[in-house]
Amino acid sequence: MMKSIKGVVRGAERDFSLFLIAGVFLGIAQSVDGSTLTNYLKEHFGMMILQRSALEFPREIPGLLEFLVIGVLSFLGGDVRISVVANLLAAIGMFSLGIIPSQYAMVIFVIFIYSMGQHIFMPLSGSIGMSFAKPGEMGKVLGKLSSVGNMAVVFSSAALWALYKFAHISFSTAFTIGAVAFVISAILMSFIKPTQTVHIRKRYVFRKEYRLYYWLCMLYGARKQIFITFGPWVLVEVFKQPVATMTLLFFIIAVIGIFVKPWVGHLIDKVGEKVVLSTEAFLFFLTCLGMRLPKISFVLP
């Protein structure tokens, strides 16, 4: 009996380690996306703000369809296996970004594929992470996972900055690096034992008592989308910042996140999700107000 328990514990530790390492490679892919995509759309395709805004429609359609797609893929037998498929889709989309011709229709199609992989994995990553947590330590585990991902973003952003600054790599090379990172992440997760062993007949659950949560999700998605789309665009379009500078900014944010995210995870366990989320929303409100301040010129190396 004791040997069986020890085997389960060792298996859980092994699976958690694999998920952590997979998170490192996802951090690499995330750094490529965050530091490169906006400059790529502006410099390679010459997009204006209206074209960039219109591109968000096909990019966010997967967000609306993800609950249907995840339900369809439930036959695979668990969140881990679905996540493998999601990361392979993201890899295909990111690699294709670097090789497609300068046609807006092709950009829409490739962005849709890439975004589908991202959106499928988003809710599953938290679910998989929480499955490794002991009672009362959910925030701690999620904070650790997020911190590891941030460390990967820090080192990969520094490496990308050096490659852009001194080696003058192309956008295609950067997207290839990100695609390979997605593939390695998928391979690592394929070795994790799926936690879902019971077939779930009811794939979609809608409950009246969750209506406030549904509204909060919609508002969170709207505010996040507006800021993610136009925040980097302001830096590239208004402040004329090159891709090396965007990568450096991404590096600085990731360094801060290494220390802040585990602390936030600890706060969630200590004071609860409601207080942390309310505080985060207020700080985001102040950030948006700051975007209304007069333009100040700045130069980064």
Q: In the prediction, which pLDDT does 68 show?
A: 80
DSSP per-residue string spanning 250-300:
HHHHHHHHHHHHHHHHHHHHHH-HHHHHHHHHHHHHHHHHHTTSPP-----
Q: Does 295 reside within a domain?
A: no
Which phi-psi region, left, alpha or beta, contains residue 28 (left: φ > 0; alpha: ψ -120 to 50)? alpha
Q: Does 282 reside within a domain?
A: yes
Q: What is the CATH number of the domain that holds 131?
A: 1.20.1250.20
Better-scored residue on pLDDT, 266 or 190: 190
Please give the mean pLDDT across all residues of the chain: 81
pLDDT band at 285 (very low <50, low <70, confident <90, very high): confident
For the segment 236-258, the average pLDDT, to the nearest whole number, is 80
Better-scored residue on pLDDT, 172 or 43: 172
Which residues are CB-neighbours of 77 under 8 A, at least 6 positions away?
194, 196, 197
Better-scored residue on pLDDT, 228 or 203: 228
**Nearest-CA neighbor of 149 among 126, 123, 172?**
126
Distances from the Cα of 35 to the Cαs of 68, 112, 137, 230, in angstroms?
30, 19, 32, 14
Check: CB of residue 35 under 8 Å from CB of residue 246.
Answer: yes
Q: In the prediction, which pLDDT does 130 show?
A: 82
Q: Does 138 reside within a domain?
A: yes
For the segment 277-297, the average pLDDT, to the nearest whole number, is 72
Check: CB of residue 30 under 8 Å from CB of residue 122.
Answer: no
Better-scored residue on pLDDT, 103 or 4: 103
Q: Does 300 reside within a domain?
A: no
pLDDT band at 251 (very low <50, low <70, confident <90, very high): confident
In this predicted structure, the answer to whether residue 100 has a pLDDT above a threshold of 80 is yes
Q: Does 301 reside within a domain?
A: no
Better-scored residue on pLDDT, 258 or 281: 281
Which residues are CB-neighbours of 240 under 8 A, at least 6 positions away?
none
**Number of domains forming the structure of the chain:** 1
For the chain, percent of residues with pLDDT exceeding 70: 88
Helix (H, G, I), strand (E, B) or coil at 58: helix
CA distance 99 to 89: 16
Q: Does 299 reside within a domain?
A: no
pLDDT band at 197 (very low <50, low <70, confident <90, very high): very low
CA distance 263 to 241: 31
Which residues are CB-neighbours of 35 under 8 A, at least 6 positions away?
157, 160, 161, 243, 246, 247, 249, 250
In which domain, by residue range, is 96 found? 9-197+208-290
Q: Does 4 reside within a domain?
A: no
Q: Does 203 reside within a domain?
A: no
pTM for the predicted model, two decimal places: 0.76
In this predicted structure, the answer to whether residue 280 has a pLDDT above a threshold of 90 is no
pLDDT band at 300 (very low <50, low <70, confident <90, very high): very low
